Structure 1
């Protein structure tokens, strides 16, 4: 028969394991991680080509543009905003880079001017939101229309093949024992690590979460809310510039009609990854997992010869479910 001390020790051990389990299940990335794992298992079991080195490499390559746009989107969503124009801004960046390179400008000049355009447009959106106190949804919806039109006017609705070594540099691969890893994938992971550090280990990151949770409370404790919001849009604009560079490395054509659904894909990745659309909760690790879920779902359904329309249906269901779960969690916390 166990002694009282043994029973007490066993109870304490069980309590520790129970607490650990609750923390794991309560983590915002637990659900997305489980969804990703289940997707991988299902597609690996139902198709013979899904888990091959070449297909996994392809999924990673396909994720770089959406992933970088989603990274910028995450920063803005954490402030309780949203950016519907991020894909259009990146496309404008690609055509600026591509047209300048094609018309004889130096590769570095073309790249920097493309970055400058994306940075300026992201900052402009943030400036309108902060100075005029307009809803981010309305501002970025208008920016989406404007930037899309500007890209077509600038190019005459024509695409430009890109042969510049610098502009397509991120499409080069490193062969790791039969597994091709692009420089773009490495840059994406590095960018996620840097932004993740900024959000979790710096005062600026603390302010971003505070503004997203309650801007009025943040203002009362001395946080300059408008400055934080503007910096979030500025950093997001930089991410869009990098996404434009990644896009040219992925497909060496600057096309004003490209990536038309990239803004929705980025929002999907952010929401599925556990970042709250209401601001103040989430992080970049969840966004990275959400990006992989979107690309794994599309790739796996394509491997299984499922119509692309059903892929959109599945993605839409995931988004609605993720927002519903977040809303329920908020209501539970408010009780």
Structure 2
């Protein structure tokens, strides 16, 4: 009897909602819907503006350009789900990349060993961020702002500011830039690795206790702690795993760029945060899905790629990205006000 009354009350409340409130409820439960619609609009708009946009070769290039942003955005998503933020993503990636390349250049060290050391270094950098957040209780923004400068300086000092071209690197480090084609549509192994990263982390977040703990810590850390969730260990693990993913992004970037340079991808931090926020992950933690992050990364790169094909200057592309971030955060704030 009680269940029937509750169901009737819920149905009555639903009928009293305005169309806008119903949209708000749908987006609260499925935050990836709005970025999916935005991606569709972007594709249609750029196709109308420049017919070469939707050609197989253009789509292959778009996916290749999206790979690095999409990989970095996975680690950034993990951190933002815990109500943190990581401003050091680009610096960790570049440091890891320069260590891989410098150790392995001109047959100095086996590629597999250089790659392993680079990945280990990136993982350690993420763990350092996590330790500063969990053990010293510093805000993630301040911690990663500081390590951004530290890791950037170390990368420049270690490499001497010198770029290393692909012909000086072992085949393993260049491998992810290779791929296979279907007509004029070409996929690289870097794209395949990104898909695997999304599949693994997506499974962990949705199907394991660790994933549920990540959401719990981001939603309400005090309640999670009182419920027996080891909040600090979860946070440390999140930053550590994020560091490993940044190291994999470094490997992808070497293959994509055909070189290792300490000045690579200066907008990595902005691009990764933009992808996550546009993808529906809340900056306040506890809500979001990796599928939204992937869509967000595609939106960021589609915007850049489409405007580039239209001949729009870089300054206007950066402006458009900034506007998208503000709109995405405003939509997130609106969705969070949904009434049960």
- Is 1:73 the counterpart of 2:76? The answer is yes
- Is 1:145 the counterpart of 2:136? The answer is no
Contact 1:101 1:162 in 2 (8 A): no
How far the C-alpha of 1:178 sits from its partner, in A, is: 2.8
Map 1:4-83 onto structure 2 (within 5 A).
Answer: 26=28, 27-83=30-86
How far the C-alpha of 1:25 sits from its partner, in A, is: 5.1
Aligned to 1:126: 130
Contact 2:155 2:262 in 1 (8 A): yes
The CA RMSD over aligned residues, in Å, is 1.9
Map 1:1-335 onto structure 2 (within 5 A).
Answer: 26=28, 27-102=30-105, 104-163=108-167, 164-333=170-339
TM-score (ref. length: structure 2): 0.90
Q: Deviations over 1:263-310 (max 9, x none)?
A: 110000000000000000001100000000000001100111111111
Shift >4 Å, 4+ stretches: 20-26
Counterpart Cα distance in 2 of 1:312 and 1:159: 25
How far the C-alpha of 1:42 sits from its partner, in A, is: 0.5
Assess, with a 3 A threshold, how the Cα gap between structure 1 residues 329 and 25 changes in structure 2: closer, same or farther.
closer
Contact 2:25 2:338 in 1 (8 A): no
Counterpart Cα distance in 2 of 1:191 and 1:152: 28
Assess, with a 3 A threshold, how the Cα gap between structure 1 residues 24 and 92 changes in structure 2: closer, same or farther.
same
Contact 1:98 1:162 in 2 (8 A): no
Counterpart Cα distance in 2 of 1:194 and 1:176: 26
Counterpart Cα distance in 1 of 2:253 and 2:321: 22
Consecutive unaligned residues in structure 2, runs of 5 or more: 1-14
Counterpart Cα distance in 1 of 2:55 and 2:221: 47
Contact 2:215 2:287 in 1 (8 A): yes
1:145 partner SS: helix
Q: Deviations over 1:218-241 (max 9, x none)?
A: 000000000000010011011001
Consecutive unaligned residues in structure 1, runs of 5 or more: 1-14
How far the C-alpha of 1:167 sits from its partner, in A, is: 0.2
Counterpart Cα distance in 2 of 1:174 and 1:96: 28
Contact 1:102 1:162 in 2 (8 A): no
2:54 partner SS: coil
How far the C-alpha of 1:34 sits from its partner, in A, is: 0.4
Counterpart Cα distance in 2 of 1:305 and 1:175: 27
Counterpart Cα distance in 2 of 1:39 and 1:327: 23
How far the C-alpha of 1:55 sits from its partner, in A, is: 0.6
How far the C-alpha of 1:331 sits from its partner, in A, is: 2.9
How far the C-alpha of 1:36 sits from its partner, in A, is: 0.2
TM-score (ref. length: structure 1): 0.92
